[in-house]
Amino acid sequence: MLLHLLNVLTAFRPNQFSKKLKKETKEIHDKIEKHPFFIDLLSGDLPDYKYAIYLYNLSPIYSSVEMYFFKNTINSDYVRSKAVIQDLQNYNKTINLDYNKFNFNSEWIEYFFHKSLFFKKTELYVRWLADMYGGQFLKKKVKYSSKYEFVNLRKSLKEVRLLIEEGLNETNIDAFIGETKRTYEFHSKILDKIYELTEESL
């Protein structure tokens, strides 16, 4: 596991913009990493239904991002929505939920479709890299982990990071950082709503 993580962490030599992006979003990253949802997930205390609702809410997010950035590929390291749906279907074998009651992503979807392609990339950063890094810790803790499995993690991580870096420069990096923080906030809000659910609300 340690060697695997080291391999992932050293996959990419970030340029000055990637470094700035990471540095300036560290605080918000560390806050979401410590969200009670993940604390419970890592300690094995998160009920399956909450994780399934999480996958249900993320699935359209992944497919929307893919429509813009990975339309011409079937490479499963980039097209992640299939893995998310596969995990969800597996959870659904043992849980029976009316998911329509737990749709927390409509504000996000509306916002995402209206923003520029450049700012849409913040989602690629926040979601794809979350699975490629943090996901490697989480995958041991969930029943179904296709979402965190990659065929060639090191190579795909590098390519996703290059795609993000492609458009960054001195004049737009600050705006990109601001939008990345907003993207983290959206994801955090979805977690808040799921975390607040109780068995009684099912």
Give the footprint of ligand HEM on this chain (CB under 6 A): 9, 21-22, 29, 32-33, 38, 42, 125-126, 129-130, 133-134, 137-138, 184, 187
Nearest position to ligand HEM, beta carbon: 134
User: Residue 72 CB, nearest distance to ligand HEM (Å)?
Assistant: 24
Q: Which two tokens stand for residue 164?
A: 């993000």
User: Residue 3 CB, nearest distance to ligand HEM (Å)?
Assistant: 15
How far is residue 130's CA from residue 11's CA, in Å, rounded to a whole number? 15
Q: Residues 42, 45, 46, 48: what is their CA dihedral angle, to the nearest 10 degrees?
A: 110
Q: Find the helix or strand (DSSP H, E) in which 161 lies.
A: helix 153-165
- Cβ contact 50:195 at 8 Å: yes
Q: Which two tokens stand for residue 52?
A: 């399934």
Give the number of residues written for the chain.
202
- Cβ contact 50:102 at 8 Å: no
Nearest to 85 by CA among 16, 32, 144, 138: 144
User: Residue 113 CB, nearest distance to ligand HEM (Å)?
Assistant: 19
User: Residue 130 CB, nearest distance to ligand HEM (Å)?
Assistant: 3
User: Residue 57 CB, nearest distance to ligand HEM (Å)?
Assistant: 12
User: Residue 2 CB, nearest distance to ligand HEM (Å)?
Assistant: 12
**Beta carbon nearer to ligand HEM, 35 or 202:** 35
**Beta carbon nearer to ligand HEM, 146 or 188:** 188
**Beta carbon nearer to ligand HEM, 99 or 137:** 137
Please give the DSSP secondary-structure letter assigned to residue 201.
G
Nearest to 178 by CA among 3, 20, 72, 60: 20
- Cβ contact 136:8 at 8 Å: yes
